[in-house]
Every structure is written in structure tokens, then in C-alpha cells.
Structure 1
């Protein structure tokens, strides 16, 4: 569909429910405010993992929509949002910086999710436990659906501890009484002990559990774009298939190489992908320009 210099970030008409798929180059908080409440069925976020606590961050105060302010929402242990932050600060002073980075973006994700919507937050072991408490406060503990473990077997091997070969994906829903989930649409896996089930079951395979064994993107495979944190399409296809329907709008505002958009396009979903990195948007323009309008704000 091509690339545009694009409207200004203040142009609230850039996204329309009947408009084109979008790839947006922008700082995500600058752009997300123009998107309407409850517009997206699935939001997938793969933010910086904070491995060295060295990211450049923007501190922004966000206000929840009509359901009330963040400071009054009851979350983990019945305590208020600010109380939770205070307690975490006492345990890990350095985390305050990452919280300031992630908190307003997760609050925007809550606002943008449809009533039947699902958030997938992709992190690693360094931050996932803090993020779980943060999401309990923003969404409510009753909205926690799963923690998915993505297990892979590739890369260096530590000799001083158990090698770390998994990522964590926290799954939260907007409304625990109304979220969409259809496991019948998800790809099946081989049984680990096929001799213990009937031949028919072994041939059909089993539905995935909350532990997903899936290889990383092959360094020599056709999916490889050269983007350093690219995730495999098969991993994201499970999320999209289970938690959305053809025609639904999906959002990724740490889009990187655009894998989420590629999966959405291949499964007849609509998508908005946002990233501020020009190199990432260059890759997405090459990968998704036939399916999306690319706008550089």
C-alpha cells in the first residue's frame, strides 16, 4: 500500500475501523492516545526486557477511562495501585525506572482492549514477576488467564547454572466473563508418549498446554529478517488463532520486525503495528507494505 510522511500525531482520523492496516513509525505513547477505547481484540507486547536497565524511557502519567482512576483500583491483595508500587520500590529500587516505562503503556493496553479482548505480554524471567503484580493492579487478578512458558533449545550453555531457555508470556483478559478463546483453531502438537494414547489420538496430536515448545527463528530460515529480537510466526499464530476471529483488529506497539502483523495478515485479521525505530519500520515496510499503509510520524 506504500509509505506516507503521514498526518501529524494529533490527527485522530489516522485509524478507522474501516480503514487500512497500519504500520506506524512513532513513539508508541505519542500515537496510542489517538486510538479509541476498546478497539482491539488482541494486543501483543514484546517490550524491552530490561536486561541491563539501560533503555531510554519516557515518564508519562496516564489516566484510565470511565471505570476510574489508577490510584483507586483495587488490585493485588486488595491494595491500591500506588501502594503496590511503593512496596515494590522497597524491594528493588532499580525497578522503579522500568515501572515508569512500562506502566503507562500497559494502562493504554487496558483501555484499548475490547470487552472480549486478550493481552499477551512477552517478557523474560528478569521482569515477569514484577509485571505480573503490575497487571494484577491494572486489570484485576480475576483477569489473569495464563502464564505461557515458551521453551526453546538453542544458543549458549552456561556451566555455572541451569541454562535459561525460555521466555514468559503473561495472558490477561479485559473481561473474564466475556473473553474470546477458541482452542479448536490452534495447531496441535505431537504427543510426547504417543504409545500411551490411541492411534487416532496420536495421529491428530494434542492441544498445546501453557508450555509451548517452539524453536526460535532459524538464522538461515526464510522467516529471518535480520532484526535481533524477531519472534517466530508459529508462536504468535497460536495467540492470534485462539484469541481472535477473522476480521478482528489486532495491535502491537513494540512491533519490531512486524511478525505480529505478518501473522495477522496471513490469518485475515486487521492490524496496527507501531515502532519508533526507523530500522524496524524499514523491515516492516518491506515485509508488510502489500498488506498495510506505512506512516512515519
Structure 2
């Protein structure tokens, strides 16, 4: 499958056109169950446009589509659904009842299951949502991915806007992106970006005798969630980020910079990052 663009319901496209274990990475930005209507961007010339326009009305009903979908899950249509997934949807039906939220979660479960099927064993999946249903969607993702040897990798917080006041509540300023891998052996390609020269001039203001530029980094651990190491170094007792043996090694390598107040700080060399960039460019 090279440079293919499909237009239509992604569930139908996945089931009809996408082969098992043929996709390296999948990212979806589905409706969020926001109970809002979004601006229509189609001309509604034909029936396909009219159907597609409905996807921008992010409201859900317990209708024939939802009933058919939950029947597929509970009866394990074509053996696609894990027992954990069946138990989860059954439990959510008992807790939430047959309403808009369950209809939304059933729709998402059908699609997440198909996405898991088409991903390669080394594949990754990103699901973009917001706090309206993110806590339920993570349960669905765990039931589909983690129950079949996959793993939850991270929850990425995307800040959409600066802080503001929403009436009667805290400001809604972020979206959530869940990152999962299909197996424990997954593909990860590290991305490096060259620093802007203005950034280098501003932060890498120090230079060793051999010409290597560096910036000063904190070695203190006060306030860090993981704690630190309490000991005396250069006459100063405080909580440090590394054990004393590591501090001694850094000092012997000339990697420590001392302030006027004798506080130890680490030298973060610019060459450590440019070397990685050079390797990637090769």
C-alpha cells in the first residue's frame, strides 16, 4: 500500500482495504464526544458529502448503529475482540446505561480493534482526544492493546491555548494524546533538530579552553519528585541529583562548573547534541 488516500467511514475502509499487520504507525483524531456541532466544510453536492458532513456533529445517540456495534463486540464478531474488551464494554453498559457515552465508546472500540489488527508487531498507535472521555478511552486501549502483548507508552499533553476562565470551572486548555505500541519490541526513530544560532548564542555562553561550548545545568535535586542524594560537596551540604560517586567522576572529567558561591553545576556541552545530528544526517 503506497500513497493511498481513502474517503469514507474509517471502520469500513479498515475492514475492506487494509491488510493484517501492514501499517507502521496510526494516528487518529476522532470526535471527542464533546456534544458540540462543528462547522461543515463539505458542499453537500451528493449523498457522500451529506453523509460525511454528519461526522462533524459530535453528538451520539443509542441508535441502530450503537446496538449493532455492541452486538458485534459482545458476540465477538469474527473473533476480533479480546475477552477483556468484551468484559469492559459489558461492564460499561451496566454502569453507564445505553446512552450517548456508551454509543461513543462502542464506536471507538470497533475502530481501535481494527487499528490493532492492521498494525505491524513493531507498530505504534496515537489516539488524540480530550478530557471528555479520555479516562474511558484509556480503558478501551488497555483492553485492546495491553491484553495482547502491547503496552501503554505515554500520555502526551498538548496545550492548545493559554490559560483562560471558563464559566464556573477551570480553563479547558489542553488535549490528550495516548501513545501505545502493539508489542514490547517497537520501532522508535529519535528525531533531532538543529539549534537555532540565536538559541546557541543565548544559552551556550561558556567555552572550555579547547573551544567546546557549554551551558550550565542544575545538579540540585530539591523539589524533584524522584528525590535525590544528601551529602557534602565542595563544602556545601544539599540534595544532589546524582550519587557522590557520579559527582566524583564528573569532576575528574572536568564536567563540573563552580559558581562564585561554590555551588556545583554540570556542563552541558553543545557537541553532545551536534554529534547526534551528524550521525543522523549520514
1:82 corresponds to which residue?
86
Greater relative contact order (CA < 8 Å, ≥ 6 in sequence): 1
- In the alignment, the residues of structure 2 paired with residue 23 and residue 157 of structure 1 have an alpha-carbon distance, to the nearest angstrom, of 40
Pick from 13, 16, 28 the counterpart of residue 45 of structure 1: 28
2:188 corresponds to which residue?
181
- In the alignment, the residues of structure 1 paired with residue 193 and residue 126 of structure 2 have an alpha-carbon distance, to the nearest angstrom, of 16
Q: Does 1:158 align with 2:158?
A: no
The structure where helix makes up a greater share of residues is 2
Pick from 81, 103, 109 the counterpart of residue 70 of structure 1: 81
Instruction: Rate the CA distance shift 1:42–1:69 in 2: closer, same or farther, 3 A.
Output: closer
C-alpha offsets along residues 129-176 of structure 1, whole Å, 9 cap, x if unaligned?
Answer: 100000110111651111100013258631422201000001110111
Q: Secondary structure at the match of 1:153?
A: coil
Instruction: Rate the CA distance shift 1:152–1:117 in 2: closer, same or farther, 3 A.
Output: same
1:103 corresponds to which residue?
109
Alignment of 1:231-270 (within 5 A): none
The structure where strand makes up a greater share of residues is 2
Structure of greater Rg:
2
CA contact (8 A) 1:64 1:111 kept: no
Which stretches of structure 1, 4 residues or more, deviate above 6 A after TM superposition?
Answer: 186-190
2:59 corresponds to which residue?
54
- In the alignment, the residues of structure 2 paired with residue 136 and residue 92 of structure 1 have an alpha-carbon distance, to the nearest angstrom, of 19
CA contact (8 A) 2:163 2:171 kept: no
Instruction: Rate the CA distance shift 1:185–1:70 in 2: closer, same or farther, 3 A.
Output: same
How far off its partner does 1:30 sit? Answer: 1.7
Q: TM-score, normalised by structure 2?
A: 0.52
CA RMSD of aligned residues (A): 3.5
Q: Secondary structure at the match of 1:163?
A: coil
How far off its partner does 1:123 sit? Answer: 0.3
CA contact (8 A) 2:25 2:119 kept: yes
Instruction: Rate the CA distance shift 1:108–1:160 in 2: closer, same or farther, 3 A.
Output: same
Pick from 152, 162, 168 the counterpart of residue 176 of structure 2: 168
Q: TM-score, normalised by structure 1?
A: 0.50
Q: Tell me whether 96-105 or 21-30 shows the greater mean CA deviation.
A: 21-30
